[in-house]
Amino acid sequence: MMKRIVVGIKRVVDYNVRIRVKPDGSGVVLDGVKMSVNPFDEIALEEALRIKERGGAEEVVVVTIGPGDCQAQLRTCLAMGADRALHVLSDVPTEPLTSARILLKLIEREQPFLVLLGKQAIDDDNGQTGQMLAALWRRPQATFASKIELGEGTAQVTREVDAGLETLEVDLPAVVTVDLRLNEPRYVKLPEIMKAKKKPLETLALESLGVTPGAHLKTVRVAAPPQRQKGIRVENAAALVAALKEKGLLSS
């Protein structure tokens, strides 16, 4: 059996774009907005490619769920070095549990020894898909990884927690979600972009996987964060204390 890594990616608004809320509060403006690979997912792909380059894997398969426009992000991943891409067509946003069920179907088909995902997507910040996938797959998980070392049938994962760093050893196959400090993704050059056009990209209908997208969450309203009040300058410490007391931020 081929030693294969599956990497899940998501198409999101580019992190450099200033988000604008629609006037009716139903969501954010996406028309004409630059879209990119979710930064955490890009780090996951970079780690998969490095594992392959060290001889730890034979193939890297990148997968995504979304509309037809997602193929641009998949081509970017192929240009980075992924061998194949799978695109599950869905014109409606999928919630984490639905995404996990779809990914499970692809995993059953591809039989990877490792699944890498970003720890969260920067659009909804749910951070749930990896954990749900591991539960459905009945395999170990390690989240928020800042270092991954593969052994014989195991992976040693250093993860970032509130108290510092925690090291886990999990049996493979496993699901690992990655954090920002794991690596820095490579820069994609023009020759790789041209080569990526010839790499296989398979499109799958959501219905063909036997997964029905269900809506368990309803967005009631989207609002921009309140504007910060203009700061004031005080002449000395006594004036600062007085100002804080006036605002009720400091007791007498």
For residue 222, what are the β-bridge partners?
Answer: none
Question: Which amino acid, one-letter code, is at 49?
Answer: L
Of 109, 95, 104, the residue nearest 2 (C-alpha) = 109
- State the Cα torsion 102-220-39-166 to the nearest 10°: -80
Answer yes or no: is 252 within a domain: no
What is the value of pTM for the model shown? Answer: 0.84
Answer yes or no: is 251 within a domain: no
Domain count within the chain: 1
Q: Is a pLDDT exceeding 70 seen at residue 19? A: yes
Q: Per-residue pLDDT tens for 186-195?
A: 998 888 888 8
Task: Please give the pLDDT value at position 220.
Answer: 84
Answer yes or no: is 86 within a domain: yes
Structure token pair of residue 217? 């969450």
Answer yes or no: is 215 within a domain: yes
Averaged pLDDT for residues 21-39: 85
Q: Is a pLDDT exceeding 90 seen at residue 197? A: no
Q: Per-residue pLDDT tens for 75-120?
A: 999 999 999 999 999 888 888 999 999 999 999 999 999 999 999 9
Q: Per-residue pLDDT tens for 200-232?
A: 999 998 888 888 877 777 788 888 888 887 888
Of 16, 208, 223, 5, the residue nearest 122 (C-alpha) = 16
Answer yes or no: is 188 within a domain: yes
Q: Per-residue pLDDT tens for 38-51?
A: 999 999 999 999 99
Cα 11 from Cα 37, distance rounded (Å):
5
Task: Please give the pLDDT value at position 210.
Answer: 85
Q: Percentage of the chain surpassing pLDDT 90?
A: 56
CATH number for the domain including 65? 3.40.50.620
Of 104, 90, 113, the residue nearest 10 (C-alpha) = 90
